[in-house]
Amino acid sequence: MSASEHIAFLVSNKLGDSLLLLPLAHNLLRKGHRVTVFGRQVHALAAWLPGLEVRPIPSEGLAALTEFDSIFQMDVDQPLMLDPHNCPRPLQSLTIWLHQNPVRSTLFLDELRQFALAVYGIEDWSDACELMPLHPERGRQNSKRIVIHPTAGTAERYWSDARFIQLAQRLSRDGYDVHFVVEEREAAAWQAAAKGQPFTVNQFASLRALGEFIHESGYMIGNDSGIGHLASALGVPTVTISHRPRNMLRWRPQWAAGVIVPHLWLPLRAWRRKYWRFAVTVPAVMRSLRQLQKQEARSDRPNAAAAPKPGGAVATETPQA
In the predicted model, is pLDDT for residue 316 greater than 90?
no
What's the domain range around 284? 136-299
Question: Do 39 and 161 share a domain, yes or no?
Answer: no
Which of 89, 120, 151 finishes a domain? 120
Same domain, 222 and 174: yes
In a domain, 240, yes or no: yes
Q: Which run of H or E residues covers position 274?
A: helix 269-275
Burial (CB < 10 A; 0-12, 13-18, 19+), residue 155, is exposed
Q: Which long-range contacts (CB under 8 A, 24 or more apart) does 117-126 make?
A: 119/1, 119/92, 120/1, 120/27, 120/28, 120/31, 120/33, 120/92, 121/1, 121/31, 122/27, 122/28, 122/31, 124/27, 124/30, 125/23, 125/27, 126/23, 126/26, 126/27, 126/30
**Pairing verdict, β 238-241 and 258-260:** parallel
Q: Which residue has the higher pLDDT, 302 or 121?
A: 121
Which are the contacts of 310, defined by CB distance < 8 A and separation ≥ 6? 131, 132, 133, 136, 139, 215, 233, 234, 235, 255, 256
- Does residue 187 register a pLDDT over 50? yes
Q: Is the pLDDT of residue 45 over 50?
A: yes
Same domain, 86 and 177: no
Is residue 310 in a domain? no
Of 153-162, 237-246, 266-275, give the lowest mean pLDDT range.
Answer: 266-275
Residues 144 and 293 in one domain: yes
3-state secondary structure of 134: coil
Any idea which of 27-31, 102-106, 169-173, 290-294 has the lowest mean pLDDT?
A: 102-106
Give residue 167's pLDDT band: very low, low, confident or very high (50, 70, 90): very high
The lowest-confidence range among 63-67, 168-172, 229-233 is: 63-67
Whether the pLDDT of residue 311 is over 80: the answer is no
Beta partners for residue 82, in sequence order: none
Q: Residues 285, 250: one domain?
A: yes
Asked if residue 93 belongs to a domain, the reply is: yes
pLDDT band at 247 (very low <50, low <70, confident <90, very high): confident
pLDDT number for residue 56: 95
Q: What is the CATH number of the domain that holds 263?
A: 3.40.50.2000
- What is the per-residue pLDDT for 287? 96
- How many domains in the chain? 2
Phi/psi region, residue 32 (left: phi>0; alpha: psi -120 to 50; beta: rest), is left
Residues 88 and 157 in one domain: no
Question: Does residue 190 belong to any structural domain of this protein?
Answer: yes
- Mark whether 47 and 193 lie in a shared domain: no
Same-domain status, 151 and 262: yes
For residue 49, what pLDDT is reported? 97
Lowest mean pLDDT among 67-76, 100-109, 218-227, 281-290: 100-109
In a domain, 108, yes or no: yes
What's the pLDDT score for residue 306? 38
Residue-by-residue DSSP string for 101-118: S----S-HHHHHHHHHHH
CATH code for the domain in which residue 13 is found: 3.40.50.720
Read off the pLDDT of each residue in 52-67 and give the average, rounded to a whole number. 91
Rounded mean pLDDT, 103-121: 92
Question: Rounded mean pLDDT of 34-52?
Answer: 96
pLDDT, mean over the chain: 89
- What's the average model confidence in pLDDT over 108-117? 96
Please state the rounded mean pLDDT for residues 254-264.
92
| Angstrom distance (rounded) from CA 66 to CA 302 | 54
* Domain-embedded: residue 306: no
**Both 109 and 252 in a single domain?**
no
Percent of the chain topping pLDDT 90: 68
Q: What pLDDT, in 10s, does the model give residues 271-304?
A: 777 778 888 999 999 999 999 999 888 877 654 3
120, 153, 178 — which closes off a domain? Answer: 120
Model pLDDT, residue 180: 96
Residues 6+ apart with CB under 8 A from 186: 151
Q: Indicate if 156 and 221 belong to the same structural domain.
A: yes
- The per-residue pLDDT for 301 is 60
